Amino acid sequence: MKSRLLRYIRQSLAMKLSLGIVLLAIPVFIAAVGIFFVQSRYVIRKAAMQRADNVVSTATIGIERHLRAVETATNACVWQVQQHLQPDSLLVYTRSIVLLNSHVNGCSVTLEPGVFPQYGRYFSVYSVRQGDTVLTAREAPYEYFDKVWYRTPRDQKRDCWVEPFDDYNEGTLSATEPIASYCKPLYDAKHQLLGVIATDLALTSLSESISDNCPYEHSYYMLIGREGHYYIHPDTTRLFRQTIFTGLDPRADADLIALGHAMTAGNNGHMQVKIDGATCLVCYRQVPGTQWSLALVCPDDDILQSYHRMTHILIPLIAVGLLLILLLSVQAVKYAVRPLNKLVEQSKQIAHGNLDNTIPLSRRTEEVGSLQNSFHTMQESLRRQLTSIKQANTEAKRRNEELTHARQLAEEAARQKTAFIQNVTHQIRTPLNIIIGFAQVLRDSIGQVPEAEVRDVTSVMSHNAGTLSRMVLMLYDSSDTGITLALSTNHHEVVSCNDVARESIQYTYQHFPELKIHFTTELPDAFSIHTNRIYLMRTLREILYNSCKYSDGQHISLNIAATLTTVRFTFQDTGPGIPADHRQRIFDAFWKCNDLSEGLGLGLPLAKRHATHLGGSLTLDTDYHEGCRLVIELPLE
């Protein structure tokens, strides 16, 4: 087999030239595909970067909204606490803040020594949410003055968010999960420090609020503090115990260290780093009003998933493309050297005494064409002696070609007939099987089926019978005999445009009772035209049926208006519409956008045919892009 192929290549000029063309095309293909892959990877990463930036911005806004809600709830109650500083009132205020604000996990008021002398050095009240219950109590004495949530606002003399922590206090009540606290100092009328009010936000709820907004399957969020501690991370073992710098090698993990410094410095941006051995795109942004930084980690495997999938598709396509180039090149070269092949063949025929065939004249002016014409001149003297035989052979050849063409047409007609019969059989079989099945159910269950179910069954049977009737009527209309006989019998009926439109809409409701068709008219009900009522109604029905079937089913309208010479029916719907490459064929009989879709492919062709026979036209408005708009125009006279 191999030696036969090599011998064929050596003996075929066309194959040699074609292989040369392919060898020249391969580097071009490789260069083009390489550029395409590089550019595609750049575009995909750029789009992923933009998408990640948008997602991080959205998540940051969501966190900021939670923080602002906690701040608003706290600030709204501070003036009451400062003006009504009583032990019992503080219990009520902290409890009301937690009860009235779903974002708040807990609230405490801790006071300076001596504010309430009767309670000694320490006085602290705390309300905490535990499940569906809010617990409130005055805490047992403990040293809270050095706690970060007390010390920070006292030293800074302003409200602030402190670094999250997981050991809220040592008093009577404790939070059950890590929290972040918004702390605000309390002052009396002389601006003397009274204490601190601290409102808690659970980091778990904060993490849940943003975790659903991940753009990729394996992407995740992490929140770190000013020193790099993890506050939100899918690996809970790192929370509060490790920082982003823990266990990093300055040489091997320089990119991750740079990311940690950028985030702890409060910068915004994105960076490509390697995390746990996987290359990731990290987009980070500082949370406003805090010293925290939120980052979205997107693994490259997720970002470039479509890119890798495209690679698996393009490689076979390249192989197929090169094969097609080879085949086309062979055909093109064969065409170019065909005269030479003819000359060789004719020479062999003449050498064997066969003078029946004569090489034709060529219009080509290059060397191959000149050689062919010279050979033709040489054969011309021989041709005169065989004129009669040649004419007979030519006539026989012509008849054979005609027979071949006729056979091909017959085969194509048989194929189309078979396909049409199969389609009709398929479309009729479904409603017919439904009717037969339900008829058997009613026959076998007489007196046993409830009346409501009988009504439902008969309704389904009626609907499918209507579908069968509609398809049979369309098949009848598709024949020349049916429409020619009907139109020639009655083509001058006086028809009210509004009445025939309303009847068509009511007919459509029988097939689509749940839909709403918006009907408007600029004509009075008495306005009439001379036409064939039956075929006008069938035309309107088919277009309305298509609108209800292929639109979104919500915005279907029919409008009637008149010009000086015509009356215009405008059908409009919203939905997928008709693709631009299919618009030239929508009026071809038996053609459908999708061969598997319901229908015979006769609705719009018959509607156009009826409109034409009625002296009008049916056109598609290509300027309408919200769905589909069809216009029927019929003459007034």
pLDDT digits (tens, 9 = 90+) for 533-556: 888 888 888 888 888 877 777 888
Q: What is the pLDDT of residue 184?
A: 92
How high is the pLDDT of residue 304?
77
- Radius of gyration of the chain, Cα coordinates, nearest whole angstrom: 42
Task: Identify the burial level of 201 via C-beta atoms within 10 angstroms of its C-beta, where 0-12 means exposed, 13-18 middle and 19 or more buried.
Answer: buried
* Residue pair 112/122 in contact by the 8 Å Cβ criterion: no
pLDDT at 195: 93
Residue 468 reports pLDDT greater than 60: yes
433 pLDDT more than 50: yes
What secondary structure letter does DSSP report for 239?
B
CA-CA distance, 82 to 190, in Å (whole number)? 12
Exposure on the CB side of residue 354, measured as CA atoms within 13 A: 9
Of 64-68, 197-201, 365-369, 403-407, the least confident: 365-369
More confident of the two residues 319 and 280: 280
Specify whether the CB–CB gap between 294 and 301 falls below 8 A.
Answer: no
Q: How large is the average pLDDT for residues 316-320?
A: 78
* Residue 98 and residue 104 in contact, taking contact as beta carbons nearer than 8 Å: yes
How far is CA 262 from each of CA 108, 285, 288, 417, rounded to the nearest angstrom? Answer: 34, 10, 16, 72
User: Which range is least confidently modeled, 69-78, 122-131, 477-486, 622-631?
Assistant: 477-486
Q: What percent of the chain has pLDDT over 70?
A: 71
pLDDT value at position 73?
86
Which ranges of 479-621 would DSSP assign to H, the alpha helix? Answer: 480-489, 497-511, 533-550, 603-613
**Helical H runs in 162-232?**
203-211
Q: How many other C-beta atoms lie within 10 A of the C-beta of residue 595?
A: 9
From CA 418, how far away is CA 429, in angstroms rounded? 16
Q: Which tokens in the block code for residue 158?
A: 């302003």
**H helix or E strand, kind and range, residue 310:** helix 305-351
* Predicted pLDDT of residue 488: 42
Check pLDDT > 70 for residue 135: yes
Any idea how long the chain is? 637
Q: What is the mean pLDDT of residues 30-54?
A: 79
* DSSP assignment of 141-171: P---TTSHHHHHHHHHTS-EEPPPBS---SS
Give the separation between CA 244 and CA 228, rounded to whole angstroms: 5
In which element (H, E) is residue 558 found?
strand 556-562
Instruction: State the alpha helices, DSSP H only, in 567-633.
Output: 603-613
Summarize the confidence of residues 310-323 as an average pLDDT. 75
- Under a CB-based contact definition with an 8 Å cutoff, are residues 372 and 336 in contact? no
DSSP state of 580: G
pLDDT beyond 70 at 126 = yes
Q: Is it the case that residue 186 has pLDDT exceeding 80?
A: yes
Helix (H) / strand (E) containing 128: strand 124-130
pLDDT score recorded for residue 564: 86
Of 85-89, 279-283, 384-388, minimum mean pLDDT range: 384-388
pLDDT mean across residues, the chain: 78
What long-range pairs does 392-396 form, CB within 8 A, spacing at least 24? Answer: 393/356
Q: Is the pLDDT of residue 32 over 80?
A: no
- C-alpha–C-alpha distance, residues 329 and 483, integer Å: 52
Q: What is the pLDDT of residues 230-260, one digit of tens each?
A: 888 888 888 888 888 888 888 888 888 898 8
With a cut of 50, say whether residue 281 has pLDDT above it.
yes
Give helix 305-351 / helix 367-383 axis angle, nearest 10°.
Answer: 40
183 pLDDT tier (thresholds 50, 70, 90)? very high
Residue 213: C-alpha distances to residues 51, 62, 219, 389, 460 (Å): 11, 10, 10, 85, 45
H or E stretch covering 557: strand 556-562
Which pLDDT tens digit goes with each residue over 496-512?
A: 888 988 998 888 888 88
How many degrees, rounded to 5, is the angle at CA 411 between CA 407 and CA 416? 145
Q: Residue 110: which pLDDT band, with cuts at 50, 70 and 90?
A: very high
pLDDT of residue 109: 92
CA count, 13 A, side-chain hemisphere, 584: 1
Task: Point out the least confidently predicted range of 201-210, 384-393, 583-592.
Answer: 583-592
Q: What is the pLDDT of residues 605-621, one digit of tens each?
A: 777 888 888 888 888 88
To the question of pTM greater than 0.75 for the whole model, the response is no
If one compares 161 and 344, the residue with the highest pLDDT of the two is: 161
Q: What is the pLDDT of residue 6?
A: 65
Own/partner long-range contacts of 592-599 (Cβ < 8 Å, ≥24 apart):
598/427, 598/549, 599/427, 599/549
Q: Is residue 35 scored above 60 in pLDDT?
A: yes
Angstrom distance (rounded) from CA 465 to CA 101: 61
Residue 383 scores a pLDDT above 70: no
